[in-house]
Amino acid sequence: MRVLVTGGAGFIGANFTLQTLRDRPDAEVTVLDALTYAGDRSSLEPVARRIEFVHGSVTDADLVDRLVGAADVVVHFAAESHNDNSLDDPSPFVQTNLVGTFTLLEAVRRHGVRFHHVSTDEVYGELSLDDPAKFTPETPYDPSSPYSATKAGSDHLVRAWVRSFGVRATISNCSNNYGPYQHVEKFIPRQITNLLDGVRPRLYGAGLNVRDWIHVEDHNTAVWAIIDHGRIGETYLIGADGERNNLEVVRTLLEIFGRDADDFDHVPDRPGHDLRYAIDATTLRDELGWTPRYTDFRAGLEATVDWYRKNEAWWRPAKAAAEARYARTGQ
């Protein structure tokens, strides 16, 4: 199977590429990645000789047409992915997340190629803290940030291309991922690398916002289950029942580092900060038989801490710029 992975030098796409080459001997992988600040080719170094790497943008229609024409399936991870950056400058989010997805959809339509769109639970907006309800595929779209609005728009484009043009596509909306190769701007790697540098973790606001954590490898096995057995036109929610508030996550990290439970700072909250995300993954589990492997969050965090400890050469080059951006907002 010839697999075109967009955004394969980013966090989830790189893990997907590594896992695919480990688990699927029949796969031939081409990665298309623009190598923005979030892309790092060195994440693919373990498989560099086994993949074709193309440096380019999903908004480049000629390039996309050529690559899609040579693929059996497109797995679309490429995106501007960080909410805080979308508050500074939404423009690249519109270009990559909307125009880029449109460009890919037109190419898969021309070539009749199978398409899987990787999206986020943030398209559904926020849940309240005191209601046990979770997101389901029937939850109405209600995105809060420029990032989640562009991801919501891209989901609608995919559904319209399925219905109007018969494109063979599926969509997945996943909750917050953690694991190796995640950019240091994101919550968990930011706090781990702060602690490794002897800096106190930073909690937005009171730290009571809840995220539904899933290990990146579990996200990717779900994506393959959908590609292999999912129904065309269907939306699958991916989550592993990993709800924790941010304060609990920071306290677990402090414990792993042997630091005092109050050894962190509160910093200004994110404007429009969604309170809670939680996924009901019943369809994925019942229909496709998927189950997560990483069900012990603390063990997963310990392994992630260990990875960042051993791979300083990977994260160090990005750390100063990420912290300089946070310094501008006092976060």
Binding to ligand NAD by residue 74, rule CB under 6 A?
A: no
Binding segment for ligand DAU (CB under 6 A), chosen from 52-60, 69-77, 101-109, 200-208, is: 200-208
Active site residue 274: no
Q: Which of 40, 122, 185, 218 is catalytic?
A: 122
Question: In what side-by-side order are the strands of the sheet with 28-33?
Answer: 51-55, 28-33, 2-6, 73-76, 114-120, 169-174, 235-238
In 96-215, alpha helices (H): 101-111, 146-165, 187-196
Ranges within 246-275 binding ligand NAD (CB under 6 A): none
Among 81, 86, 170, 221, binds ligand DAU (CB under 6 A): 81
Please list, in sequence order, all residues whose beta carbon lies within 8 angstroms of the beta carbon of residue 16, skipping any fewer than 6 positions away. 5, 8, 75, 77, 220, 223
Shortest distance, CB of residue 24 to ligand DAU, whole angstroms? 25
Structure token digits, residue 93: 């989010």
Shortest distance, CB of residue 191 to ligand DAU, whole angstroms? 7
Distance CA 78, CA 56 (A): 11
Binding segment for ligand NAD (CB under 6 A), chosen from 34-42, 66-74, 261-269, 290-298, is: 34-42
Binding segment for ligand DAU (CB under 6 A), chosen from 27-35, 69-77, 132-140, 196-204, is: 196-204
Active site residue 312: no
Shortest distance, CB of residue 214 to ligand DAU, whole angstroms? 9
204 contact choice in ligand NAD, ligand DAU, none (CB below 5 to 8 Å, kind-dependent)? ligand DAU
Active site residue 178: no
Binding to ligand DAU by residue 190, rule CB under 6 A?
A: yes
Q: Which of 33, 40, 80, 121 is catalytic?
A: 121
Among 33, 121, 155, 217, binds ligand DAU (CB under 6 A): 121
Residue 328, judged by CB atoms within 10 A of its CB (0-12, 13-18, 19+), counts as exposed
Please list, in sequence order, all residues whose beta carbon lies within 8 angstroms of the beta carbon of residue 153, skipping any fewer than 6 positions away. 97, 98
Q: Is 265 helix (H, G, I), strand (E, B) or coil?
A: strand
90-98 own/partner pairs: CB under 8 Å, 24+ apart: 90/146, 90/150, 92/36, 93/146, 93/147, 93/150, 94/146, 94/150, 95/59, 96/34, 96/57, 96/58, 96/59, 97/147, 97/150, 97/151, 97/153, 97/154, 98/150, 98/153, 98/154, 98/157
Residue length of the chain: 331
Binding to ligand NAD by residue 7, rule CB under 6 A?
A: yes
Ranges within 108-127 binding ligand NAD (CB under 6 A): 118, 120
Q: Give 3-state DSSP helix, strand, coil % of the chain, rounded to 5.
A: 45, 15, 35
Binding to ligand DAU by residue 183, rule CB under 6 A?
A: no
Binding to ligand NAD by residue 13, rule CB under 6 A?
A: yes
Q: Which of 80, 124, 147, 217 is catalytic?
A: 147
Shortest distance, CB of residue 182 to ligand NAD, whole angstroms? 7
Binding to ligand DAU by residue 211, rule CB under 6 A?
A: yes
Residues that bind ligand NAD (CB under 6 A): 6-7, 9-13, 32-36, 38-39, 57-59, 77-81, 96, 100, 118, 120, 151, 174, 176-177, 183
Residues with a known catalytic role: 121-122, 147
